Amino acid sequence: MENTEKIVQNNAPQQFWTPTAEASAAAQMNLFRKKIIEKYNATLPDYSALWRWSVENTGEFWSEIWDFCGVIAEKKGETAFVPAEDMKQAQFFPEARLNFAENLLRRRDGAPALIFRGEDRLEKSMNYKELHESVSRLAQALEAAGVEEGDRVAGYMPNMPETIIAMLAAASLGAVWVSASPDFGVQGVLDRFGQVSPKILFAVDGYAYNGKDIDCRKKLAEIVKALPSLKQVVIGDYIKGSETPVDKETRLEDFIAPFEAGEIAFAQLPFDHPLYIMFSSGTTGIPKCIVHGAGGTLLQHLKEHRLHCDLKKDEKLFYFTTCGWMMWQWLVSGLAAEATLMLYDGSPFYPDGHALFGFAEKYGCNIFGTSAKFIDALKKANLSPKDRHDLSSVRMLTSTGSPLVHEGFDYIYARIKEDIHIASISGGTDIVSCFVLGNPLSPVFRGEIQGAGLGMDVDIFDETGNPVRGVAGELVCKTPFPSMPVMFWNDEDGAKYHGAYFDRFENIWCHGDWAAYTEHNGFIIYGRSDATLNPGGVRIGTAEIYRQVEKLPEIKESIAVGQDTQDGDMRVILFVVMAENAVLDEALKQRIRQTIRDGASPRHVPAKIIAVRDIPRTKSGKITELAVRDIIHGRPLRNVEALANPEALNLYKNLPALTEE
C-alpha cells in the first residue's frame, strides 16, 4: 500500500533555539561526551555521533551512564549487557544489587526536596532530611503491617508529598507500587488494582479540583469491599470528604505514630526487581499491567534528567501530572538528581490559565513540564504568560501527551518565553520514559522533536519493515534498552507482552506511533498508528489535521476518525467543538476544508464536518480516537471506565450525517 504522506511544513524548517557555546560546554551531556571520547578514543563531534556510539555499544554505554550518574548499589557486577536472540530476553546488569528508593534518598540535608501546591487550598514544602525521616517511619509501619518483597502497595492519591513518601517507603522494602489518581471511578480502579491484588491501599479523604471539594470516601468504600487482598487502608487528610466509613481503614497519622525516624534498611535487590506496575489506557479493553524494573527505571530516568534535560543539583523540576500518568513516575525520579520537585494538584486553569506560571514564578522553576493540549488551550484563550510573570528562571519547557504542533512552538516563543529550550518528548507508559526527546547540544527546529534518546535505537519503518526517510511510518526500536517492561502481570507465557510490541515486525519493538525522521535527525509524531487514517489507501496522521484546524478561532477542539465505506475505502470524518458563540455553517466548513487543503494536503480534507459538544478523553487528557471510531461503526465499547468523560460518547451515536454520502 502506498504511503505518500510527506513531512508537511509550510515553510523551510525554522531554527528556533540554539544552545549558547557556554551552556553547551557546561552541559552534563557534553561532559559525558568528552569522557567517552577520552576513554574509548571515539570521534564524537556532535549529538548525532554520540547517539550512534550509544546504540552501537550498548553495554559500554549503559555502564558509563551508571558510573557518570553515580548509581548507589551494593553491587554493580562485571556484566552490563547480555544480548539474546529474542530482544525481550536480553539482560542488563544481571549481577547487580540495588534499591531504587536509596538512590532517590541519597541526600539527607536541609535543601528543599518537595514543594507542593494544591490549587489555592494548601501550600507546603519538605526538605530532604524531612523526606528521609518520613519515609523511614512509613517503611517501618509497612513492614509491621506485613509488607514484604514483591507485595503490591497501591496509591489512590493526588500528586502530593504523601504519595511520594508512600511509594519510596514501599520501594525501600522491595514492594511494588501501583497507583491511580482519585478522579478514577470505582470500576476504573478495580479494573487496575483488581488484577494485581494489593496488600495495602493509601488514599485521601477528598481532593480539590477547579475550586470544588470532591469526596473520595464513598468511592473508596466500594473499592475496598471489592479488593479482598487488602489488609489495611491508610487514609490521609487532605480535603475533608464525607463521613462514609471504609473497611480496614487507619488514619495515616495513626499508622506511623508508633515509629521513630531512623536509618532505612534498603533492601538490596536484582536490577529487574519489580518497582512499578503501570497500566495501559484501557480504551481497547481491560488495562494491561506493565511491570517495570527498579534498575531500568532508575538508569533511564537518570540519563533523561541529567543528560537530556541537564538537570542539576538544587534545580527545580516541575511537571503537571496526576498519579495516573507515567509522567508522575518520571517526575519523582528527579530526586535521584538531587533536584527539588514541584508538585501541583488540581486544575491547571484554576482560578485561571496563569495558575501554573504563578507557581513557577514564585519558586523559580527551572524545567517546566506540561502537555501539548495545555499549550493549545493557552493559545486558544489568547493568554500571554510572559506579560504577567517573571519566568527568567525557566530555561526548558517540556511537552508531551500528544504531538506539539508547529504553531505550538510559535506560541511558546511568542507568548511564554522567547529564549526557552522547547523539548517536545515522546515515549510512553510502556517504557516509563522517552524514545525521542530534547538534548542540550543540538538546535531546536520548529515542529520537531530534537532526536532519539541516547541508547534508544529508534528508526522509522515502512509497512514492509524497511527504514524510510522523509515520509511517515512506524516508530520502532531495533535493539534492547533497560526500561523495557520486565513482564506483563498475569502473562505467564509472555503472549500479551509479545503481542503488544513484537507482532508487527520480527524481534523489533513497534511502538504504535506514526512518525517521520527529519533532515535534522529529529522526529515529528503524527499520532497513534492504530488511529491513522487511510483514505484511498494513503496513510495520514490525525495530528496534521488538528494542526490546521487549530488555526481557526471558531473551533475550540477537534477529533478526526476514519469511517469505513461500503466500497471498502475509508473517508475522514472531522468532529469539532465550537468556540463560544461560533456556528458551524457552510461558509465555516469551506474555510476548514480550505485551511486543511492548503496547510496539509487534499488527502487530509474531511468528507464530513460535524459539530459536537464534547470530545471523549482518557484520564490523562488524551482524546481517544479509537472510542469514537468504534461508536460511529456501532461496535461495542470496551472499558468505558477508562474515560474521564464517558457521557461524551453518546454525542456520536446514530448521527444522520454519517449515513449520508
- pLDDT value at position 185? 84
Who contacts 565 (Cβ-Cβ below 8 Å, separation ≥6)? 571
CB 427 within 8 A of CB 515: no
For residue 1, pLDDT beyond 70: no
Torsion sign across C-alpha atoms 103, 105, 107, 108 = negative
- Lowest-confidence region among 173-182, 262-271, 379-388, 402-411: 402-411
Greatest extent of the chain over all pairs of C-alpha atoms, in Å: 73
Neighbouring CB atoms inside 10 A of 629's CB total 21
For residue 532, pLDDT beyond 80: no
pLDDT tens by residue, 431-481: 999 999 999 999 999 999 999 999 999 999 998 999 999 899 999 999 999
For residue 112, pLDDT beyond 70: yes
For residue 581, pLDDT beyond 70: yes
Section 230-238 average pLDDT: 97
Q: How far is CA 216 from the centre of its chain?
A: 25
Q: Pick from 197, 192, 202, 204: which is nearest to 232 by CA?
A: 202
- Strands of the sheet containing 340-345, edge to edge, are 122-127, 112-118, 340-345, 316-319, 367-371, 396-400, 421-424
Section 523-545 average pLDDT: 80
3-state secondary structure of 614: coil
**535-659, CATH topology level:** GMP Synthetase; Chain A, domain 3 (3.30.300)
CA atoms within 13 A on the CB side of 85: 0
Torsion sign across C-alpha atoms 389, 390, 394, 395 = positive
> In the structure, what pLDDT confidence band is assigned to residue 405 with cuts at 50, 70 and 90?
confident
pLDDT tens by residue, 2-48: 343 444 444 456 899 999 999 999 999 999 999 999 999 999 999 99
Percentage helix, strand, coil for the chain under 3-state DSSP, each rounded to 5: 35, 25, 40
3-state secondary structure of 20: coil
Section 197-219 average pLDDT: 96
- Lowest-confidence region among 281-295, 515-529, 568-582: 281-295
Looking at every residue in the chain, the average pLDDT score rounds to 94
- pLDDT value at position 4? 36
The position carrying cell 525516624 is: 261
Question: What CA–CA distance (Å, rounded) separates 482 from 446?
Answer: 31
Section 166-172 average pLDDT: 99
- Lowest-confidence region among 130-134, 238-242, 261-265, 474-478: 238-242
Who contacts 104 (Cβ-Cβ below 8 Å, separation ≥6)? 168, 332, 333, 335, 336
The position carrying cell 484554576 is: 350
Q: What is the dihedral of CA 28, 34, 39, 43, to 10 degrees?
A: 130
Section 611-623 average pLDDT: 90
Percent of residues, the chain, with pLDDT higher than 90: 82
Q: Where are the domains of the chain?
A: 535-659
For residue 223, pLDDT beyond 60: yes
Q: Give 481 or 530, the one with higher predicted confidence.
A: 481
Q: Report the predicted TM-score, pTM, of the whole model to 2 decimal places.
A: 0.88
Question: What CA–CA distance (Å, rounded) separates 497 from 502?
Answer: 8
Neighbouring CB atoms inside 10 A of 46's CB total 11
